[in-house]
Amino acid sequence: MLGLGCLLAVVVFFHADVKPAATVNFSYTGFVNEVSSNKVSTATITSAGAVSGKLVKGEAYTSQIPIALDDTALTPLLLDHKVQVTGTNASATSVLGLIEDLLPFVLIFGALIWFYRRSRKQMGGGLGGIMGIGRSKAKVYDEDRPTTRFADIAGYEGSKAEVMEVVDFLKYPQRYAAAGAVGPKGVLMVGPPGTGKTLMARAVAGEAGVPFFALSGSSFVEMFVGVGASRVRDLFADARKRSPAIIFIDEIDAIGGRRGPGGFGSNDEREQTLNQLLSEMDGFEPGASVVVIAATNRAEILDTALLRPGRFDRTVEIPLPNQVERTAILGIHGRGKKLAGGVDLDAVSRGTPGFSGADLANLVNEAAINAVRDRRDILTAADFDAARDRLLIGRRDASNALLPEEKHSVAVHEAGHAVVAALSVNADPVAKVTILPRGASLGVTEQLPISERHLYRQSYLTDSLTVRLGGRAAEILVLGEPSTGASNDLAGATDLATRMVREWGFSIDIGPIGYGPEGPSRDNPFAGRPYAEETQRAIDREVATLLRDAESRATKLLKDNRATLDRVIELLLDRETIDGAELATITGDAQAVERELVLLHRAVRRNPSPLAEWGAAGPI
């Protein structure tokens, strides 16, 4: 483009130079006098009698010979005074002059056409401009497909089998036709963020021997009404031309949200796009082998018409990985990295419950960054521990120094959590206790489950409440008053107790009724509180009772084991961090005594309380 501009500038300026601004126009008499005075250097005479040329001084001149005069003496006069005479045809001169005059304008006009076409191509291809705004923005993987394969995805064997069956149907449709089977039109992949839905789609592209159209839901929507519907039509038209093919739509909730009250509205661009998508999925020809694979982590907001059979026939759940899958995922992300001999990926996976595949990738990367900080290229078990603490707890803040009394208060608080957790029968074991500030926390008691749970008994939840209130109970017992350090504990305990009463039916007074969360729901987007004010007061009373009972149990545990509590406080003030094994050694004897007392008391009790009747653990 820069070269074209320079060329135009040269042409324009050159054209200006060859046509001087000052030209002398002589009458015929004046022209003859100039020739007689030897002032004329050249003369170009046309058949129409027009004369032009240059004077001896270099100036240009023009004149006109009267044709009726038929002056025969002019030619000898020019020759006698050594004027270089040239004769031209008038029409040829006029044509050349016209071409010379129009050349710059032709070049400029051509440049404008070239720029217009180039802009149209660019705007239609990727910038979402006016010219090609209705075209599909899908990226097509055909011969050059991603290198990801199902072997690169750890675990999820059931999910991979579901998706691989779709690929197999597209590659070998005759097998299914022989059995009278019809392949699915759509597969919806549902799972929390970071579980690998897009990675699974890339593996489909890598495994499939068919064209693969990939784009996100937001690519359909623009500020212009009707653009999304046009792009849907264009996408499916391209897929049908190249069938069998796969269309992958990531984050389909961007266009597939439910319509109607609480939805997008009757005239919204997204609704028109969704309607077109529904029409296209219904409009597949019987022989058109086109399968739509979509991914979302918000399946609850999708329109029901999108999920009916005939559109998205299958829903593939991609949940958070279990421990075995986490170990395999860590092994994949550990490829190409130097791991020390003491690194046990199985132990790392046990310490990362609830981590998604993306979280595990981030964990390995953080461990590598920690090794680089220490100027090493080998990752040790300490690097993985530091990376996990950074992700779960926060960055170690060395600048947040505590006052001596604050440090003692934090030690008392965290020791209360740790001792109550260690002495509670159903609580998760403590992995680490620290009073070093991390992130927004001044201290942390980290608990990690021995095995992953999918169901939570009431006894486990009751002990969880007790552990959450153990820090506040320790402050009241040792310091004589609570502090603001328990604010997060109270918020978490209140939320847990509220769900126990309102959603899980863990209350005799309220009964086995699940009211669900407050606010709009899928079936009723305008709903508020789904129960009466009197019911809310009863729920508040039950929640308060659960929290008071939990604080009473924590206080009794700490009073009965005051020596153990003081020992843990002393070690925290001295070392600032205690690991779970050392804490288990300190609290081992006390824990054995407490459990024996609990079992003995349960055996001789004749009238157990309602909570104990449901399996509540802990001292009475």
277 falls in which pLDDT band (50, 70, 90)?
Answer: confident
- Mean pLDDT, rounded, for 533-554: 92
Q: Does residue 7 surpass a pLDDT of 60?
A: no
Tell me the CA distances in angstroms from 454 to 349, 353, 451, 597, one per residue in order: 17, 12, 10, 30
* Statement: residue 251 has pLDDT above 60: yes
pLDDT for the residue numbered 417: 93
- Tens digit of each residue's pLDDT (9 = 90 or more) over 294-319: 888 888 888 888 888 878 888 888 88
Q: Return the top range by mean pLDDT from 22-31, 211-220, 283-292, 325-334.
A: 325-334
Check pLDDT > 80 for residue 41.
yes
Nearest to 278 by CA among 233, 318, 340, 343: 233
Average pLDDT over residues 606-620: 34
Beta strand extents in 96-142 (DSSP E only): 139-141
Residue 606, amino acid: R
Lowest-pLDDT range of 120-124, 206-210, 554-558: 120-124
Instruction: Report whether pLDDT(542) > 90.
Output: yes
Tell me: pLDDT of 44 over 50: yes
Report the pLDDT averaged over residues 577-590: 79
414 catalytically annotated: yes
Highest mean pLDDT among 24-33, 433-442, 572-581: 572-581
Instruction: Please state, in angstroms and rounded to a whole number, the distance separating the CA atoms of residues 137 and 139.
Output: 6
**From CA 371, how far away is CA 399, in angstroms rounded?**
22
Kindly write down the DSSP assignment for every residue of 278-306, as one continuous string.
HHHHH---TT--EEEEEEES-GGGB-HHH
Answer yes or no: is pLDDT of 512 > 90.
no
pLDDT band of residue 72 (cuts 50, 70, 90) is: confident
Task: Name the least confident of 298-312, 418-432, 451-465.
Answer: 298-312
* 339: Cβ contacts below 8 Å, ≥ 6 apart: 378, 379
Question: Tokens 């965290």 belong to which residue?
Answer: 414
- The predicted structure's pLDDT at residue 128: 40
Helix, strand, coil percentages (3-state) for the chain, rounded to 5, are 55, 10, 35
Q: How confident is the model at residue 497 (pLDDT cuts 50, 70, 90)?
A: very high
Residues 6+ apart with CB under 8 A from 224: 133, 269
Q: In this predicted model, which residue has the larger pLDDT, 322 or 610?
A: 322
Does the pLDDT at position 9 exceed 60? no
- Bond from prior residue into 525 cis (ω within 30 degrees of 0): no
* CA–CA distance, 87 with 470 (Å, rounded to integer): 115
What is the C-alpha separation between 184 and 187, in angstroms, rounded? 7
- Label residue 561 exposed, middle or buried (CB < 10 Å: 0-12, 13-18, 19+): buried
| Average of per-residue pLDDT across 343-366 | 87
d(CA 518, CA 504): 14
Nearest 5 degrees, angle CA 77-CA 79-CA 82?
110
**Using CA atoms, how far apart are residues 303 and 297, in angstroms rounded to an integer?**
14
* pLDDT higher than threshold 60 for residue 467: yes
pLDDT at 138: 56
Task: Of 2-11, 50-59, 463-472, 600-609, give the lowest mean pLDDT range.
Answer: 600-609
Does position 600 have pLDDT exceeding 60, yes or no? no
419, pLDDT greater than 90? yes
Fold observed for domain 2-96: 3.30.720
Q: Which of 94-103, 408-417, 530-539 has the lowest mean pLDDT?
A: 94-103
**R_g of the chain, CA atoms, integer Å:** 42
Q: Which of 89-93, 127-131, 568-572 has the lowest mean pLDDT?
A: 127-131
Is pLDDT larger for residue 423 or for residue 31? 423
535: three-class secondary structure by DSSP? helix
Asked whether residue 93 carries a pLDDT value surpassing 60, the answer given is no
Assign 602 a pLDDT band (cuts: 50, 70, 90): very low
Locate tokens 């003692």: which residue? 408
- The sign of the CA dihedral 319, 363, 454, 153 is positive
**What does the pLDDT read at residue 545?**
93
Query: How far apart are the C-alpha atoms of 315 and 471, rounded to whole Å?
Result: 44
pLDDT of residue 169: 81
Split at pLDDT 50, 70, 90, the class of 549 is very high
Report the CATH number of the 139-317 domain.
3.40.50.300
Q: What was the pLDDT predicted at 491? A: 92
Backbone angles phi, psi at 572, to 5 degrees: -65, -40
Least confident of 25-34, 279-288, 454-463: 279-288
C-alpha count within 13 angstroms, C-beta hemisphere, residue 81: 21
Say if residue 472's pLDDT is above 90.
Answer: yes
What residue ranges do the domains of the chain occupy? Answer: 2-96, 139-317, 323-392, 404-613
Domain 404-613 CATH superfamily: Peptidase M41 (1.20.58.760)
Task: Single out the residue of 351, 420, 380 nearest to residue 558, CA to CA.
Answer: 420
Q: Is the pLDDT of residue 107 over 70?
A: yes
pTM score over 0.75: no
393 pLDDT more than 80 = no
First to last CA, the chain: 85
Q: Give me the catalytic one of 162, 414, 446, 594.
A: 414
Question: Alpha-carbon distance 222 to 207, whole Å?
Answer: 33
Q: What percent of the chain has pLDDT over 90?
A: 15
pLDDT class for 135, splitting at 50, 70, 90? low
Mean pLDDT of the chain: 77
Q: Which fold has domain 323-392?
A: Helicase, Ruva Protein; domain 3 (1.10.8)
Q: Is the pLDDT of residue 100 over 80?
A: no
Q: Is the pLDDT of residue 126 over 80?
A: no
Mean of pLDDT values over 139-144: 55
Q: Average pLDDT in the 480-485 region? A: 90
